[in-house]
Amino acid sequence: MSGTTIDHVARATPPKVARRIKGLSDRAIAWIFVAPTIFLLLAINIFPLLWTIYLSFTNYRANRPNAEVSWIGTRNYERILGDADIWLTMQATAHFLFWTLVLQVLIGFTLAWLINQKFKGNDLWTTIIVLPMMLSPAVVGNFWTFLYQPQIGLFNYVVAFLTGADPTSFSMIGDVSLAPWAIVIVDTWMWTPFVMLICLAGLRSIPDSIYEAAECDRASKWRQFWTITVPMVLPFLMLAVLFRGIENFKMFDLVVQLTGGGPGNTTTLTSIDLKREAFEKWRTGYSSAYAIILFVTVFGLASIYVKALNKVKER
């Protein structure tokens, strides 16, 4: 008698079950294995999505479950898309998304390139650099509020040291023009290591032989960088942008902890606004329409992005 895992499983199967399975085709057995996953996907992803689409056409309020729900057509969508406050929220999100992606890609790639140069202690530096992304966003938001304090905050004193300005003359999270940059700085500080790690994986996957061949052809370091390093790291970089883009589009915890969406509505990102509509004002139908607008936007962007990524990988 053999002692492989399959034999153990076969012996452990009760005869009654074994008799039933014996008559099934491979296809049927495959369906039995896949069915629980499909069922969970339908229950957790597809059904809530369809239900949200339905609710977006109604005036349903979750805090009034017994109230009559009436079909109001596209009125929720019309109200959202005509609301100047939501327009400002979208602009705040765009500002946050654009600058965090630009800074994280530039700094992340530079750090990865530096770490990839073989020097003593680069493992230690990698560990130190990735520390911020291991912290909880709530903790990061909390301690950056202290760093941004005009009276005692270290950030203000560093800026004052570099520029000669009075440290108490500006407040990063209290000033309307500085607050959007305050959240960009914190997100960049926290998530640049993630982009760096992905870029580092890309850089380390480039075989040395390609650079050696380029050296033989007398290609300069600059040319090697643009014709070997950048094209070969590009798919990794695009993946990092995709992950960070989707994450930052739904950024919530860090910003709530840091600024609470203020001052005024200058740092109210769409996810914060959506949460207020859904769970503070309890306008469930309205917020469902809001969520569908965001979903279609992210889905559309992700579709063209994945297509671009596949094209880069094919090259």
Q: Nearest distance from residue 273's CB to other proteins, in Å? A: 14
3-state secondary structure of 71: strand
Name the token pair of 118. 């073989």
Using the minimum distance from each CB to other proteins, give the nearer residue, 88 or 210. Answer: 88
Q: Nearest distance from residue 293's CB to other proteins, in Å? A: 5
Using the minimum distance from each CB to other proteins, give the nearer residue, 163 or 177. Answer: 177
3-state secondary structure of 58: strand
Q: Nearest distance from residue 277's CB to other proteins, in Å? A: 16
Using the minimum distance from each CB to other proteins, give the nearer residue, 90 or 160. Answer: 90
How many whole angstroms separate alpha carbon 238 and alpha carbon 313?
10
Say what the alpha-carbon torsion angle 31, 34, 38, 41 is, to the nearest 10 degrees: 180
Q: Nearest distance from residue 308's CB to other proteins, in Å? A: 8
Using the minimum distance from each CB to other proteins, give the nearer residue, 63 or 303. Answer: 303
List phi, psi (to 5°) of 71.
-75, 120
Q: Nearest distance from residue 43's CB to other proteins, in Å? A: 23
Using the minimum distance from each CB to other proteins, give the nearer residue, 210 or 301. Answer: 301
Q: Nearest distance from residue 222's CB to other proteins, in Å? A: 32
Site of interaction with other proteins (CB under 8 A): 77, 81-82, 84, 87, 90-91, 93-94, 293, 296-297, 299-301, 303-304, 307
How many whole angstroms separate alpha carbon 226 and alpha carbon 267?
37
Q: Residue 135, CB half-sphere, CA atoms under 13 Å: how many?
A: 21
Mention every residue, 6+ apart, whose C-beta is less than 8 A from residue 261.
Answer: 255, 267, 268, 269, 272, 273
Residue type, 288: S
Beta-bridge partners for 71: 58
Using the minimum distance from each CB to other proteins, give the nearer residue, 59 or 93. Answer: 93
How many whole angstroms separate alpha carbon 29 and alpha carbon 34?
9
Using the minimum distance from each CB to other proteins, give the nearer residue, 126 or 297. Answer: 297
| Closest to 233 in 3D by CA, of 96, 98, 111, 99 | 111
Q: Nearest distance from residue 297's CB to other proteins, in Å? A: 6
